Amino acid sequence: MLKVSVIISAYNHEKYIAESINSILHQSFLDFELIVVDNGSSDSTYKIIKTIKDPRIKIFRIKKNIGFGYALNYALNKSRGEYISLFSSDDIGLPDKLKKQVKYLDDHPGVGAVFSQAQMIDEEGSAIAKHYYDKMFDQKNKSRFEWLNYFFYNGNCLCFPSTLIRKSVYKQILFENERLAQLHDFEVWVKICLIKDIYIFNEKLIKFRIRQDNKNAGADTIENKVRSMFEFSHVLKHYLKIKNVGEFLKIFPNAKEKYHDINDDELIPFYVAREALRVPHVFHQKFALDVLFDLLQNKRVVAKLNKQCHFDYTDFIKLTGQHDIYHVNHIAYQEALIKTLKQQYEDLKQPLKKLKKTIYGKS
């Protein structure tokens, strides 16, 4: 079996794809295959890929781009490596990336995936001295339970193209979710941490390219923000798979101090929803209310909640009126403000008309 399958899904990166591929081909670690999938590019990306001759490269083309997750799964199903290196078609791998990460996974069988820090570069490949991604990716190592706590409250902070994952773990979590675009990788990190530890090298093993005009897939655009909120609420569903109360309390250690009713594995979805309601994000709150709505369909669970947690239908109904997940209050405020401004305008019309007559002597 090959040790590593490096996977690159490329889309309209004609300017960068050759440099990206060559950074993998020039790795100091040699036991790998490179699977490059052109994901429906409309520029010269595919032609450029075809010009690079190396027996380690396998090239595939998907004629129509139907999503990044689909392209990754396409490549994953063709991969033969023990480990999977996820890479981006506009980034650069430093020469010892694979060597160092493979050794770590070989030496630490309890770790499911490894990551690294990244050097930010601009479109021309020059180093960017300071970028907000630097702070995001600069994370200290934690236990998988601490990571799950961090992810629950804060979201993603790991660098996708720095990843090396055990294929056996990737298979266990069913590879990529093709319905997700912004947070497909974040969901993978959460699912891995539910079963395995992860490790971050405190070293820059890749160069991460920052594109101008919000051209990065994860750029901070309104469309991406809206989609991320939707996807986050679905990623949170994986926390309902926490196995038992002991695991729950390792992930949410502060819950034990706040509540004295956490003692029933069957009620873990309720405990998770209760934590989510405390987060001031609408996607956490919608997730929580949906979970509670579903829980309250089970009469036996309802009886348990009433007895153990003093929570029943009336408490749920109160919550649905308190958590304004559809911004009704904000809309009402905006409508009232518009009404006030319109009235102020009407009130000023007559005085302005009189002032105009005084100045110009006519209406």
Q: Which has more pLDDT, 215 or 344?
A: 344
Q: What is the pLDDT of residue 362?
A: 60
Q: Give the total residue count for the chain.
A: 363
Which token pair is 234? 């679905």
Q: What is the pLDDT of residue 220?
A: 76
What is the amino acid identity at position 335? E
Coil, helix or strand at residue 87: strand
- Alpha-carbon dihedral 150, 144, 266, 255, rounded to 10 degrees: -40
Q: How far apart are CA 50 and CA 47, in angstroms?
A: 5
Q: What is the pLDDT of residue 176?
A: 97
Q: How far apart are CA 171 and CA 179, in angstroms?
A: 17
Q: Give the model confidence (pLDDT) of 295-334 as tens digits.
A: 999 999 999 999 999 999 999 999 999 999 888 888 989 9
pLDDT > 60? residue 10: yes
How many helices (DSSP H) and strands (DSSP E) are in the chain? 16, 8
Query: What is the mean pLDDT of the segment spanning 166-180?
Result: 97
Cα 338 to its chain centre, rounded Å, is: 37
**Of 117, 97, 89, nearest in space to 32 by CA:** 97
Coil, helix or strand at residue 136: helix
Q: What is the pLDDT of residue 352?
A: 83
pLDDT > 60? residue 363: no
Q: What is the pLDDT of residue 215?
A: 63
Handedness of CA 13, 15, 19, 25 (dihedral sign): positive
Using alpha carbons, list the distances in angstroms from residue 235 to 10, 99, 141, 151, 196. Answer: 25, 32, 22, 10, 17
Q: Give the model confidence (pLDDT) of 111-147 as tens digits.
A: 999 999 999 999 999 999 889 899 999 999 999 999 9
**% the chain with pLDDT above 70:** 98
Q: What is the pLDDT of residue 7?
A: 98
Q: How far apart are CA 12 and CA 215, in angstroms?
A: 11
What are the structural domains, with CATH classification, of the chain? Answer: 4-233 (3.90.550.10), 242-322 (no CATH)
- Residue 343: phi and psi, rounded to 5, are -65, -40
Mean per-residue pLDDT over the chain, rounded: 95
What lies within 8 Å, CB to CB, of 177 at 6+ separation is: 69, 184, 187
pTM: 0.91
| CA distance between the termini of the chain | 90
Half-sphere exposure of 355 (CA within 13 A, CB side): 5
Would you give the DSSP letter of residue 174? Answer: T
pLDDT > 80? residue 278: yes
Query: What is the mean pLDDT of the segment spanning 274-286?
Result: 96
**Of 295, 298, 297, nearest in space to 276 by CA:** 295
CB burial class (10 A; 0-12, 13-18, 19+) of residue 331?
Answer: exposed
